[in-house]
Structure 1
Amino acid sequence: MSDGPASVGAQLRAAPPDRLPEVTAEHLRADHAADRVEVLLGDLSLSALWPVLDPEGPTGGLLEQRCFGSQLPVVDPRPDGPTKILLPLTVWGDRLGVLSLETTREAGQELTAELTVIADELAMALRTADKDTDRYHRVRRRQRLTMAAELQWELLPGRSLNGERFRLAGALEPAYAVYGDHYDWSVTGDRLTVTVLNGHGDGIEATLLTAVAVNAMRNARRAGAGIVEQAELASDAVYSRHGGNSYVATLLLEIGLGDGAVEAVDAGSPKAMVAHDRDIRPITLEQQLPLGMFGDTRYETQKFQLEPGDRLLVASDGVHAAAPGGRTAYGVSALLTALRRTRLQPPSEAVGTVIRGLREYHDGLDADDDAVLVCLDWLR
C-alpha cells in the first residue's frame, strides 16, 4: 500500500503524460478497493462527458452531469453493491471532467476528502499534460476541427477561472468551426484583465488576424503595460501587417477586484452589460476605432463601477447582432430573456445557457458568424 492520497501526485508526476488515467486507476484500486474506475472529459461544446480509459464505454449520465455541473462530489450508495463516487476534475475553476469509481469502503467524509485530493491531483496533471500528448484532445473532440478552430482553441486561456473575489467563464461557438471571435483573460494580484475580440473577415485569415492581436496584447500585458498600451501595440501590429484592409474589433477591460472599478477600451463591436438580480443594464461606452484600421491610432480609457453581486457579461456581435433569417437581432430581447434564466447559475453554466438559447433562436438555420460570450461575477 502507498502513503495515502498525497502519494498519487508523485506517481502522476513520474508517469508519461498519456498514462495519467491508468496511473490514477491503479492507485485507486490498490488504496481504496476501487473498481470500475473511469475518467470522463467534457467535449469542446461541454454537451457530454466522454470516457478515456474505455473509449467505447458509455458517456456520463445524470449523476456524472450533476457532479460536473454542481462541482461537488456525488456519492451514490447501493444497498446491494459497491458505492459509486463521482468527483469533479477542476483546475482553478476550469472544469475538465469527472472522476468516477466504485468502492466497497465506507463512503464517509474522510474517504470523500481523500478522493477529492486524488481528483485534484489528476486534474492538474491532465491540464499540464495537454501540451505533451494528444490523447485527451482526441477524447474532447467529437469531430474534426477546421484549421481556424484549431488555432483559436490553442489561443484560449481556458473556459473558466475562479478566484477569491470572482467567478469567470467564456464560451466559443460553434466549437468546431470558429473563425475570428476570441476571448482572453489574465489575473495578477487584484487586477483582472478580460478581452473579447472579433477579427474582421472569415476563415483562417480572420483567425490569423485575431492571433496577431491577441499575442500583441499579451506581449504588452506581460511587460506590465496597461490596457491602453495593449490596444495600441495590437493596433500597430495589425496595421503593419494589413495596412488598414483588415481590423479587429475589441473590448478590453481591467477590473479592480478589490473595489469593482473597471477601466475599458472600447475599440469595436463586443457589447458589455451588467446584471444585478433581475435588472440588466447595458454599459454605454464611447466606441473608438477598431484595432489596425489606421496607423498610430491612440486610445483612451473609460470607467464604470461594479457593485457587489454584479454579473458582467460581454458578447461579441455573433451573439448580440445575430439575426437569423432576417429576424430581430438576438440582442434586442431574446438575449435578455436568456440572461434572466441564468440568474441562479454560476458563470460556467450561464454561458452555456445563453449559447444554447442562441442556437435555439437560429431554429435550424446556420449561423452567419461565430460567437463569444464571457461572464464575470464580482464577489468582493
Structure 2
Amino acid sequence: MDRSESFGEALLGAILDRAHELPPHLLGPLVADVVERLGGRRPQVLLQDYDQLTLVPLPGEGLAEGEPEVIDDSGAGRCFLDAVPVELPEDDGVRVHLPLLDGGDQVGVMAVTLDSVDDDDRRLLHRISGLVADLLVTKHGYSDLFFRARRGEPMSVAAEIQWSLLPPLAMIMPRVAVAGILEPAYDVGGDSFDYALNGDVLHVVMIDAMGHGLDAATMAAVAIGSYRHARRADIGLSEIYDFMDRAVAEQFGPEHFVTAQVMQLDATTGRVQWVNAGHPPPILVRDHRVADRLDAPTTLPVGLGGPEPRIGELALEPGDRVLCFTDGLIEERKSDGEEFGEDQLIDCVNQLERTGRGVRAVTRALSHTLKRARGGHTTDDATLLMVEWRG
C-alpha cells in the first residue's frame, strides 16, 4: 500500500494540521493559502447577515474584499439558498461558489476563481469547504470576528441575548428538517425557539415572552433555559410544560407569562405531539398547500399556573411541514390600520410552497414576503419556525 501523501491529502492536511490551534483571525490566510495551492485566486468567505438579505465578505489577510452580495440576486445567493455549488464564467476563468454547510445549516459561501474547473477540482473544493464550515462554527464560539462581520446595524442588548440563546437557524437531516427566522433581527425582544434531535425524536419549542426589550429577553432566557433543562431530563410534554411554568412563575411572579408551543416529532413514524400554551395554532402544509391548523385544547401560558395540559397528536405524511409562528406576525397593522391576519399568512405560504424549495429557503422567503406585505412594519417580534418530516 502506497502511504505517501497525495496532492489532495496535502491540501486537506494543511487545514487539519493547523485547525486546533488556529486563532479565528487567521482563518482567512489559511483559506487563501490552500486556494492558492489549488491554483485559485480571489478567495472569499461570505457570511449571511442577521437580516438574511446579503452575504457579507469576511475580512482577513489573503481574502478578497468586495461589497455584500444580495442573496436574492447573485450566484453566491443561489448557492446559499439551494445549498448547491454554482459556477459562473468570468473573463479570467470560472468563479466557483461552494456552500458552507454544518449539519444542514448554511453557514455561508466560499468563493474562488480558477482558470478552469474539472471533477478533481470540484471534489477537492467540496471537501475544503466542508472543513472551512466546521472551522467557522467552532471558532465563532470564542471570537467576535464573525458576529461583527455579519452585522449591518447596531444590535440591542435584548437581541444580543436572544441570538445567544438560539440554536443554528436551520438543521437538515435525512428524516427531518427545521428552519427558523426572527425579526426584527437587530431588536428582537421576547420571541425565541429551540430544538434538539435526540435519537429518533425531534424536540421543538417556540416561545413569545410578554412585553418588549430587555425584560422580555430575560423572561425568554428563563423559559428557554428551563425548557432545555426539562428536555434533557427526558420527561414528557406535560412535565416539560409544568417545569417551565414553575420556573417562570417563581422568577417573575404571577403577572408575567410566556406563550409557548412545545412539540415532539417521532422521526421514524411521523407522529407529532404538542402542547399549546396560549400560542397561535401551528399550520399544517401538505402537498405544498396549507391543509389544516393544528388545533388542540390550549392551556394557560407558561408562568400562569395552568392545569395539566392536553396533548394534541397527528400522524404526518412524508413531506408534510408544520409552520409555527408568533402572534406578532398576524396581529401587525398595515398602513391602512387593518390587521394583517392569518388568511394573508396562508395565502403567502401557498404561493411560496409552489416553488418546491427547501424549508430554509421557504422560511426565509416567507418572512421577507410577509414583512413587505405588512408595509415593512414590525412593531412586535415576528418569528417563524418550520418543521418538515421527510419520511
Quote the residue 1:156 is aligned against: 166
CA RMSD after TM alignment: 1.8
1:310 aligns with 2:320: yes
Cα distance in 2, alignment partners of residues 42 and 326 from structure 1: 33
Quote the residue 2:24 is aligned against: 17
Determine which of 46, 49, 69 is the counterpart of 1:43.
49
Counterpart secondary structure, 2:196: strand
1:378 aligns with 2:389: yes
Aligned residues: 375
Quote the residue 2:113 is aligned against: 102
Matched residues, percent identical? Answer: 28
Counterpart secondary structure, 2:112: strand
Cα distance in 1, alignment partners of residues 275 and 379 from structure 2: 27
Cα distance in 2, alignment partners of residues 218 and 270 from structure 1: 22
Cα distance in 1, alignment partners of residues 303 and 249 from structure 2: 4
Q: CA deviation at 1:328?
A: 4.3
Call closer, same or farther: CA 1:336–1:102 in 2, change over 3 Å. same
Counterpart secondary structure, 2:364: helix
**Counterparts of 1:93-242 in structure 2 under 5 Å?**
93-104=104-115, 106-242=116-252
Quote the residue 2:103 is aligned against: 92
Call closer, same or farther: CA 1:115–1:154 in 2, change over 3 Å. same
Q: CA deviation at 1:142?
A: 0.8
Cα distance in 2, alignment partners of residues 2 and 165 from structure 1: 32
Q: CA deviation at 1:320?
A: 2.7
Counterpart secondary structure, 1:4: helix
Q: CA deviation at 1:110?
A: 2.0
Q: CA deviation at 1:361?
A: 2.3
Quote the residue 2:332 is aligned against: 322
Q: Does the 8 A contact of 2:44 with 2:65 survive in 1?
A: no
1:241 aligned partner, one-letter code: Q
1:285 aligned partner, one-letter code: A
1:18 aligned partner, one-letter code: H
Quote the residue 2:92 is aligned against: 81
Q: Does the 8 A contact of 1:169 with 1:348 survive in 2?
A: yes
323-332 or 281-290: which moved more? 323-332
Quote the residue 1:33 is aligned against: 39
1:248 aligns with 2:258: yes
Q: CA deviation at 1:204?
A: 0.5
Q: CA deviation at 1:279?
A: 3.3
Cα distance in 2, alignment partners of residues 111 and 5 from structure 1: 12
Q: CA deviation at 1:378?
A: 1.1
- Point out 4+ residue stretches in structure 1 off by more than 4 angstroms: 325-328
Q: CA deviation at 1:84?
A: 1.4
Counterpart secondary structure, 1:270: coil
Superposed CA deviations along residues 176-225 of structure 1, whole A, max 9, x for unmatched, are 00010111110011100111100011111011001101000101111222
Counterpart secondary structure, 1:285: coil
Q: Does the 8 A contact of 1:252 with 1:265 survive in 2?
A: yes
Q: Does the 8 A contact of 1:320 with 1:332 survive in 2?
A: yes
Determine which of 288, 299, 302 is the counterpart of 2:309.
299
Quote the residue 1:360 is aligned against: 372
Cα distance in 1, alignment partners of residues 228 and 157 from structure 2: 22
- The answer for unaligned runs of 5 or more in structure 2 is 1-6
Superposed CA deviations along residues 244-285 of structure 1, whole A, max 9, x for unmatched, are 110000000000111111111110123301111243111111
1:52 aligns with 2:52: no
Cα distance in 2, alignment partners of residues 144 and 248 from structure 1: 27
1:284 aligns with 2:291: no
Q: TM-score, normalised by structure 1?
A: 0.94
Q: CA deviation at 1:175?
A: 0.2
Counterpart secondary structure, 2:302: coil
Q: Does the 8 A contact of 1:39 with 1:51 survive in 2?
A: yes
Counterpart secondary structure, 1:131: helix
Q: Does the 8 A contact of 1:12 with 1:23 survive in 2?
A: no
2:55 aligned partner, one-letter code: L
Call closer, same or farther: CA 1:227–1:9 in 2, change over 3 Å. farther
Call closer, same or farther: CA 1:252–1:345 in 2, change over 3 Å. same
Counterpart secondary structure, 2:172: strand
1:269 aligns with 2:279: yes
Cα distance in 1, alignment partners of residues 363 and 144 from structure 2: 27
Counterpart secondary structure, 2:328: helix
Cα distance in 1, alignment partners of residues 344 and 269 from structure 2: 32
Determine which of 47, 66, 74 is the counterpart of 2:78.
66
Counterpart secondary structure, 1:183: strand
